[in-house]
Amino acid sequence: MEGYVSVAAADELKPAQMKRIAVGGKRLLLCNSSGTLHCVDEMCSHEDYSLYLGCIRDGKIKCSLHGSYFDLATGKPTCEPADQPIQIYPVKIDAGQVWVKA
């Protein structure tokens, strides 16, 4: 798994939970959406505000500052005011660990 970094135990996050992680100098969020793990940039693309302060719902993460939602699978905003996507990163589960490539 070249380029991947272990960031959590596979069972560490319950659905709708997230964890701040740092990989390759980047501030990221590991998110559990209904049992599926996603990794995205921590900061909202609309304002420099942490998405960690928002919530996960229906496969999306909400920025609590202005209410924009981002699709966790694609990073694309699903409502205004955000109009730029957030970066997503590959996630793998192996040997009881979550691995992220960033």
**Angstrom distance (rounded) from CA 76 to CA 45:** 10
Residue 72 has pLDDT above 90, yes or no: yes
Residue 57 has pLDDT above 90, yes or no: yes
Helices (H) and strands (E) in the chain, counts: 0, 10
| pTM of the predicted model over 0.75 | yes
> What's the length of the chain?
102
CATH number for the domain harbouring residue 31: 2.102.10.10
- What percent of the chain has pLDDT above 90? 96
- What percent of the chain has pLDDT above 70? 100
Residue 70 has pLDDT above 90, yes or no: yes
Q: What is the pLDDT of residues 7-56, one digit of tens each?
A: 999 999 999 999 999 998 999 999 999 999 999 999 999 998 999 999 99
Q: How many domains does the chain have?
A: 1
Specify the pLDDT at position 1: 79
74: containing domain: 4-101
29 neighbors 41 (Cβ within 8 angstroms): yes
Specify the pLDDT at position 9: 98
